[in-house]
Amino acid sequence: MRFLDAAPRFVFFTGKGGVGKTSIACAAAVRLADAGASVLLVSTDPASNVGQVFGVTIGNTLTPIDSVPGLSALEIDPEQAAEQYRERIVGPVRAVLPAAAVASIEEQLSGACTTEIASFNEFTDLLTDAAWTAAYDHIIFDTAPTGHTIRLLQLPGSWTDFLTEGKGDPSCLGPLSGLEKQRAIYTEAVGTLADPARTRLVLVARAQQSTLQEAERTHTELAAIGMERQYLVVNGILPDDVVGADPLTVSIHDSESRAVAERSEALKALPTDYIELKNDNMVGLPALRSLLQAGNSPTEAVHSSLGTTIAPLSALVDEIAAGGHGLIMLMGKGGVGKTTMAAAIAVALAERGLPVHLTTTDPAAHLADTLRGAVENLAVSRIDPAVEIQRYAADVMRSKGAHLDEQGRAMLKEDLRSPCTEEIAVFQAFSRVIREAKTKFVVMDTAPTGHTLLLLDATGSYDREVKRQVGSTMHVTTPMMKLQDPEQTKVLLVTLAETTPVLEAAELQEDLRRAGIKPWAWIVNNSIAAAAPTSAFLRARSANEVAEITQVTENYADRLALVPLLPVEPVGIPALRALGHSRFVRIAADA
Which residue in 15, 17, 18, 70 is the catalytic one? 18
Distance CA 557, CA 308 (A): 15
Respond yes or no: is residue 22 known to be catalytic: yes
Which residue in 20, 332, 335, 460 is the catalytic one? 20
Integer angstrom CA distances of residue 586 from 301, 307, 480, 525, 541: 19, 7, 38, 15, 17
Q: Render 52-65 in DSSP notation, one character per residue.
A: HHHTS--SSS-EE-
Respond yes or no: is residue 34 known to be catalytic: no
Which residue in 22, 143, 339, 446 is the catalytic one? 22
Question: Residues with Cβ < 8 Å from 70, sequence gap 6 or more?
Answer: 33, 36, 37, 38, 39
Would the CA dihedral through 133, 136, 138, 140 be positive or negative?
A: negative
Which residue in 15, 16, 17, 23 is the catalytic one? 23
Strands 356-360 and 441-445, sheet pairing? parallel
Which residue in 16, 43, 44, 45 is the catalytic one? 45
Distance CA 138, CA 15 (A): 20
Distance CA 524, CA 230 (A): 32
Distance CA 401, CA 383 (A): 26
Distance CA 323, CA 490 (A): 11
Burial (Cβ within 10 Å: 0-12, 13-18, ≥19) of residue 386? exposed
Which residue in 15, 16, 21, 415 is the catalytic one? 21
Distance CA 465, CA 480 (A): 11
Which residue in 340, 459, 478, 500 is the catalytic one? 500
Respond yes or no: is residue 21 known to be catalytic: yes
Distance CA 41, CA 80 (A): 19
3-state helix, strand, coil in the chain (%, to 5): 50, 15, 35
Respond yes or no: is residue 23 known to be catalytic: yes
Q: Render 266-326 in DSSP notation, one character per residue.
A: HHHTS-EEEEEPPSS-S-SHHHHHHHTSSS-PPPPP-EEEEEEEEB-HHHHHHHHHTT-SE
Respond yes or no: is residue 20 known to be catalytic: yes
Strands 10-14 and 71-75, sheet pairing? unpaired
Catalytic residues: 18, 20-23, 45, 500
